[in-house]
Each structure stands twice: as structure tokens, then as C-alpha cells.
A and B are shown apart, each in its own frame.
Chain A
Amino acid sequence: MLRFSSFAGSLSAVMLMTSTALAQVPPDPANPNEAVPEKATYVPYGPTIKLDQAKKAADAALAESTKRGWPMCIAVVDPSGDLVYFVKMDDCQYASISIAQHKARASAKYRRPTVVFERLLGRGPFFSYLATLDDVIASRGGNPIVVDGKIIGAIGVSGGTGSQDDLISQAGAASMK
């Protein structure tokens, strides 16, 4: 058995162990994540997006980026984040091939626009835990595709600035409403 002689040692032991015999980690009043919301707020998942719907959303995004002269990658995924449709426009940077897919996947799996992660991480250290969650991408440009109040998929766009990506992504998602 290890014996902690210093106060710092026993404190760290308390914080690492979660047995019922020991008190829980004391709440940190400064941390906004301590609040327990009464209700769960979310948009429910609906039926899986069809290829025709995915093409319609991507084509709307493609038309908008062509009009503006922004070369983009556009990815459309199903509710679980698996790829349904993908296009890389000519002259779009290579990095965006995977980023567009990542944005779409994160948006579908977390049922929210990826700008949420970007904004919260920007708020400071109490939100840096978000970067430790699976498959998060803290960059705007991923948006759920919602039909009849249900998420049927998501669209992720990459190739320009985050703000350009998000504008194109939203144009794609809006075409399904």
C-alpha cells in the first residue's frame, strides 16, 4: 500500500478515486458545466437520407460555390456519419477532402452545427474538454440536414475560410427545407 504523507498527495488521491467511501470531486462554482439542465434538448433523428436528397443538397451547395468562385469539397453523410455523397471541385485544396467529411460526420453524430464546437472552445478553458470528445471538429462548415423536424443527415464543406465554408454548407442544408 502506498502512503501519501503530504497534503497534496492525499488531495490528488481523493480526486482520482471515485469509490463511494470517498466524497465526490467537489464542484467548481466557476465552471459553467456544473449546471444540470432539467431537460434534454435535441433534434430527433429521422429516416436515412436518400442519394437523390444528398445530391440535391450537394448540388445546391455546389451551385452557390460556383457562383462565388470558391473551390470547395462537399460531403453529405447519413445520420450516423457515414458518407453518402461527395464531390471535390476542381482546384480545391487536398486537405479539404477529409475536413469536409469530418465536418459532416461530426455534425450528424452530435446533431448540431460544427460552429457550436468552434464557439464554445473559443470561450475558454472550461470548454477545452470538447476537444477530447470523439470525432469532434471545432470548425464551422458542418450542418445537419433537417426534414420535417428530423435529422436525416448532414453536410460538411471545406475549402475556404470557415465563414465561407459555413455559408456554402448552410445553402446546401437549406435546399432541403
Chain B
Amino acid sequence: MKTRPMLTLDDCRRISAAAEAEAKKNNWNVCIAILDDGGHLLHLARMDGASPANARIAVEKGRTAAESRRSSLVWEERIKAGRNSMLGMPGITPVQGGLPIIVEGICVGGVGVSGVQSHEDEQIAAAGIKALG
């Protein structure tokens, strides 16, 4: 039987704390969502000043990265390159700011961030994942 790593609440808290620190450092108010590889919400923190929409979008960016095992930017770029049919992909939010969490070569989940410019959202998500070591 195959065994594989899986995110614990401790891991999620570490990721979220590092992401929040990155956002705070830049005076950005964002929402940070962490999901497992099946797209189930494990942890969410909406900073003061981030909107209810940010909470929904962060979850959907995280879901996109977790379930497709690739950055949500990849989807955005495919569409930008002209693959408009990708807009209809189920459960995909093709906007930068969602990153997969890869551990030992396996996608164990995703982090989605929403609240500032998309590339800044991704910067926050990356800072969070980096804390996992």
C-alpha cells in the first residue's frame, strides 16, 4: 500500500503565520486559505480590512492549485494565450495567487491568497509554503 504525506493543523498554522507575516510586512490586508489535496478547507485567516469576497476567492484559488496540482497562474496564462475553452473547466479559478504545496514530490494541498494584486497574492502564498521547510 502506498503511504503519502498529509497536512496537519500544525503545518497549516505554520504556513498561515508565515503568510500573514509576509502580508503584514507589506501592509497588505488579505485572506489566506489552506486546503488539502482534495480541495477541503483546512485553515483560513481573513486579516482586518480584507473583504468577504477575498475570503471566497482565496478558497477558490487554493482549490484550483490543490486539485490541479499546479499554480493558478498556469491556468491564467493558458487562457491569456488564447485557450478560452479553459474558462469552462470545473472548479478552476484561473487567477494568480494560488500555489500547490509539494512535499516529497507529492501535492498535499494548496494555498490561496486574495486581497492585493495577483502577483503579490502569490508572493504571500509562496512565503507561507516556504515556512514548511
A126 at interface by CB-CB < 8 Å: no
B-chain residues with CB within 8 Å of residue A85 when the two chains form the complex:
44-46
Is B86 interfacial (CB 8 A cutoff)? no
| A51-B45 contact, Cβ under 8 Å, with A80-B52, A82-B55, A90-B9 | yes
> Which residue in B43, B46, B47 is a CB contact (below 8 Å) of A88?
B43
Sample (24) of A-B pairs whose CB atoms are under 8 Å apart: A50-B48, A51-B47, A55-B45, A78-B52, A82-B46, A82-B52, A83-B46, A83-B52, A83-B55, A84-B46, A84-B55, A85-B44, A85-B46, A86-B41, A86-B44, A86-B45, A87-B9, A87-B42, A87-B43, A88-B40, A88-B42, A88-B43, A90-B8, A97-B41
Tell me the A residues contacting B by CB distance below 8 Å. 50-51, 55, 78, 80, 82-90, 94, 97
**4 A-B pairs with least C-beta separation:** A82-B52, A86-B44, A88-B42, A83-B55
Chain B contacts to A: CB under 8 angstroms:
8-9, 12-13, 40-48, 52, 55
